[in-house]
Amino acid sequence: MVRTKTAEKLRKGMLVIAAASLVASATTVAATASPPQAAPGRGGTDRALQKSLDSLVREDGFPAAFAWVRKDGRTSSLVSGTARLGKQVPVPRDGYVRAGSNTKTFTAVVVLQLVAEGKVALDEPIETYLPGVVRGEGIDGRKITVRQLLQHTSGLPNYTEHIGLEDFAKLQHTFFHPHDLLTAALAHPAEFAPGARWKYSNTNYLLAGMLIEKVTGRPVQEQITERVIRKAGLRHTSWPQPGDQSLPKPHARGYALSSTENGKVVDATRMDPSWGGAAGQMISTPSDLAKFARLLLDGKLLAPEQLAEMRTTVDAPLMPGWRYGLGVFSIPLSCGGEYWGHGGDIDGYETRGGATDDGRSVGLAVTALPGTFSDAEKSAKAVMSATDTAFCN
């Protein structure tokens, strides 16, 4: 196995909710690429993106890659690869995917709506809302604010590094309760003092989900559905019910390493996503994720004051120029400017994209995590490059 520092960042600290670092597998399983299925009459922009998607399949080994783009009043939906490994099965346009850490933005929106309603204060300690819950070695909920949770500056250990996700096959069909996930995190010491620096931790959003439930008296999935999904008119976005391991059709199958040690590839389409919770449990499509980002930036989901808070960022030292607000990244573009979004990594699917202030919106997905079929660092950067192409070319 080959492990790189960049790959480890991408797996543990960037947009992911899984725990094990990305690896370049010594065992490579080739994906069978079907002919490109771009929209008829596409222009130069679509040709550049189609080339990028085809490269993700042919050069980086992803079984399928697909994207939805809207800019200049025009929409494109492009696909490449196959929906089923080893067979020529057409990839559905804008198919369903597991959205992974894109869920965090939805969770942050609900928390900020509660702030606007006067029910939550960003600079109030989490202890105010969850008394006695956040305790551990170097961990004290009286010293960690709601803002620090949403911005990943709390110093809390990341629960997904401590529940055995490096052996995905063993946990693929296991149900997790949020309190068990929190217990797994709090059994480990704090990474640093609250506010001292930035480090991505899924535990922050696990607690944000608990905060929502405590303040509203309702399940977090209900609040996200009513306050965000329905309000935004996202017809293909949902939070799976407890025990639901399915993915709606149409979809391309997702694939994952059975274990980071054995390099065996397994079908990860059907799985229990409960370990993701308010940090990464949702299902969506590239178009819905892009539309959500567009509506968010356009002020359709948050009041101006709360949207400004969301867009107030700190340095997120993962890649040059990356910054993190409250549940959203600011990512520089090669053509100038930046886009706002999150992205998500969960076994079987990686998603990227977001929206720009000038009206562009992108949703892009591949059907495996980088490192499943080829070098982790190279393939992760290739996905990011394809996303940049979707925005810029």
CA–CA distance, 86 with 320 (Å, rounded to integer): 37
CA–CA distance, 17 with 104 (Å, rounded to integer): 10
What H or E segment, with its residue span, contains residue 142?
Answer: none
Q: DSSP string covering 308-357, please?
A: HHHT--EE-BTBTT-EE-SS-EEEE-TTSSEEEE--EEETBEEEEEEE-T
Residue 373 exposure: Cα atoms within 13 Å on the Cβ side: 26
Residue 7 exposure: Cα atoms within 13 Å on the Cβ side: 20
Cβ atoms of residues 325 and 310 within 8 Å: yes
C-alpha distances (whole Å) from 311 to each of 153, 210, 315 are 15, 23, 12
CB atoms within 10 A of CB 242: 10
Cβ atoms of residues 348 and 268 within 8 Å: yes
CA–CA distance, 15 with 164 (Å, rounded to integer): 19
Whether residue 101 lies in the annotated active site: yes
CA–CA distance, 178 with 202 (Å, rounded to integer): 11
Polymer length in residues for the chain: 393
CB atoms within 10 A of CB 340: 22
| Helix 286-297 with 103-116: angle, nearest 10 deg | 30
CA–CA distance, 38 with 177 (Å, rounded to integer): 42
- Helix, strand, coil tally for the chain in percent (to 5): 35, 15, 45
Which of 34, 101, 287, 374 does the annotation list as catalytic? 101
In three-state secondary structure terms, 135 is: strand
Residues belonging to the active site: 101
